[in-house]
Amino acid sequence: MSVQYILEPYKGPASRYTCPACQTPRKFSRYIDSGTGETLAEHIGRCDREVNCGYHVTPRLFFGENPASDQVWLRRPRLQPTVSAPGLISTIPLDKLKESLRGYETNHLIQFFQSRYDQRIVSNLIGAYFIGTSNRWPGATIFPQIDAQGRVRTAKIMAYDARTGRRRKRADGSGQIDWWHNKVGEKPYHLRQCFFGEHLLKTRPKAPVAVVESEKTALVAGIYFPQFIWIASGGLSLLSRERCSALRGRQIYLFPDLNGYEKWKEKATGIAQIAKVVVSDLLEKIATPEERKQGFDLADYLLKFDPKDFREIQLKAPAGPNKHSTILRLEKSPDFDLGYPALWDAKPREKESLRLVLSPRRAEWAKMLGVAEDQLAIYSFQP
Per-residue model confidence as pLDDT tens digits over 269-320 = 989 999 999 998 888 888 899 998 888 999 999 998 888 766 544 444 444 5
Q: Are 279 and 324 in contact (CB under 8 A)?
A: yes
pLDDT in tens, 71-103: 444 433 333 333 344 568 899 999 999 999 999
pLDDT at residue 11, as a whole number: 80
The predicted pLDDT at position 57 comes to 77
Full 3-state SS string of the chain: CCCCEEECCCCCHHHCECCCCCCCCCCEEEEEECCCCCEECCCCEEECCCCCCCCECCHHHHHHHCCCCCCCECCCCCCCCCCCCCCCCCCECHHHHHHHCCCCCCCHHHHHHHCCCCHHHHHHHHHHHCCEEECCCCCEEEEEEECCCCCEEEEEEECECCCCCCECECCCCCECEEECHHHHCCCCCCCCCCCECHHHHHHCCCCCEEEECCHHHHHHHHHHCCCCEEEECCCHHHCCCCHHHHHCCCEEEEECCCCCHHHHHHHHHHHCCCCEEEECCHHHHHCCHHHHHHCCCHHHHHCCCCHHHEEEEEEECCCCCCCCCCEEEEEECCCCCCCCCHHHHCCCCCCCCCEEEECCCHHHHHHHHCCCHHHCCCEEEEC
Under 8 Å between Cβ of 184 and 136: no
What is the phi/psi pair of residue 156, to 5°? -95, 135
Amino acid 139 reads G
**Integer angstrom CA distances of residue 240 from 46, 243, 244, 266:** 17, 5, 6, 11
Q: What is the mean pLDDT of the chain?
A: 77
**What pLDDT, on a 0 to 100 scale, did the predictor assign at position 92?**
95
What are the residue boundaries of the structural domains of the chain, listed by start?
5-65, 86-194+354-383, 195-352
In which band, very low, low, confident or very high, does the pLDDT at 253 lie, cut at 50, 70 and 90? very high
Beta bridge partners of 28: 17, 47
Check residue 234 and give its pLDDT.
Answer: 92
Residue pLDDT, tens place only, 122-172 = 999 999 999 999 999 999 999 999 999 999 999 999 999 999 999 998 877
Confidence of residue 240 (pLDDT cuts 50, 70, 90): confident
Class of the CATH-defined domain 195-352: alpha beta
Please tell me the predicted confidence (pLDDT) of residue 55: 73
Assign 375 a pLDDT band (cuts: 50, 70, 90). low
Cα distance between residue 46 and residue 364, in whole Å? 43
Q: How confident is the model at residue 59 (pLDDT cuts 50, 70, 90)?
A: confident
